[in-house]
Amino acid sequence: MTIIKFKDKKVSEKTIKALKNGGLVISPSDTVYGILVDTANEKAVEKLIRFKNRPWGKPISVFVADFKMLEENVFLTKDRLSLLKEVLPGPFTVVLPSKHNVIKLLESEKGSLGIRIPDYRFITELAKKFARPISATSANLSGRSPHYSVQSLLHEMPENKKKLIDLVIDAGKLPRNKPSTIVDLTTPKIKILRQGEIVFKEKKIYISKSETQTKKIAQYILRKISRGLQKKPLILIIEGNLGVGKTIFVKGIADILGINNIVSPTFVIYYEYSVSAHPQGVFFKNKLIHIDLYNIQDPEEFKHLGLEKYLEKGNILCFEWGEKAGEIMDTLKSRGKIVYVKMKYVDEKIREITVKN
């Protein structure tokens, strides 16, 4: 077993060499530490199953580089493709009918395959260079908890399992994200087989059962919106009843930007915060403006707020009670990218979050 640091300049080259030699690689991902093997190498897949103590016949998902590679390995309709382009890349494993280009041991008894396009550049670029899918299962024994550090993983592993590992890529301690949400798309009705941090009901509709999930959904949406949006400010119009979680949604965005002192600006209308963290793939690097229009009674009040000065690239403006922004909506539309976020109660604990742009 060889251990290398994630920052090693030859990490990709060494990983591909190990995979081509039928090796088992422990790697970081966008969720937890996972196991990579060549999905076209039967001995490597059998080695993976032995390592996991996984029952024979239980499917194992795979990573692909992009939608082209996804379509090369599973069957999907135009409607399903349209849905997947809304949620991927991201923390989702989608189950679809397989085209049987991977070792059969990875597929279900029904011939379906779990497939992922992660929001993690190292894995997608690796799959692209390797030119075929790579296994995407978490690096823990079946029935055990996933691992967020190499130290935790190796501490749990008995010696006979360690001997099966060829290469370990140590990226330090990962954020404590849940494993991916598994979504069965083999039938007309979407089925959630495993709930991860983010769950979608249908296209652009997400389900939150906790404040933590609401924050994670906000961060996921921010990453999705960030792609290709670098020349305009982002404007989030957040609507929903009192107590539905609008401020929690904004706190989720603030967290990923290194802002941890968010308070509701109900009585002062808005607060301005400087961005102190710049996560990969998020291009808003200047200011977060948190605006609460609850107490706005007269459209004339907008003239005195001075919000126009914040309509610059690199800024994010989050409007709570955004339905009251009609007086300045034309200005917002002409100078920024507007995304509508509607939050509503499903029941006392569950929220439905709909995103439109």
Render pLDDT for 248-304 as a digit per residue (tens, 0 to 9). Answer: 999 999 999 999 889 888 888 999 999 988 777 677 788 999 999 998 888 778 878
**pLDDT digit string, tens, across residues 36-66:** 999 999 999 999 999 998 887 789 999 999 9
- Return the CA Rg of the chain: 22
How far apart CA 320 and CA 325 sit, in angstroms, is 9
pLDDT at 143: 79
Q: What percent of the chain has pLDDT over 90?
A: 77
How far apart CA 196 and CA 91 sit, in angstroms, is 8
Minimum mean pLDDT range among 133-137, 185-189, 234-238: 185-189
Q: Read off the pTM.
A: 0.85
Identify the CATH homologous superfamily for domain 2-194: DHBP synthase (3.90.870.10)
Domain spanning 204-356, CATH class: alpha beta
- From 14, 11, 16, 19, select the one nearest 44 (Cα to Cα): 19
Residue 67, Cβ density class (10 Å: 0-12 exposed, 13-18 middle, ≥19 buried): middle
- From 93, 108, 89, 99, select the one nearest 62 (Cα to Cα): 93
pLDDT at 228: 64
Count other Cβ atoms within 10 Å, centred on residue 356.
Answer: 10
- From 208, 32, 215, 13, select the one nearest 120 (Cα to Cα): 32
**pLDDT digit string, tens, across residues 155-175:** 989 999 999 999 999 999 998
Where in the chain are the domains? 2-194, 204-356
pLDDT at 147: 95
pLDDT at 185: 95
* Mean pLDDT (the chain, rounded): 92
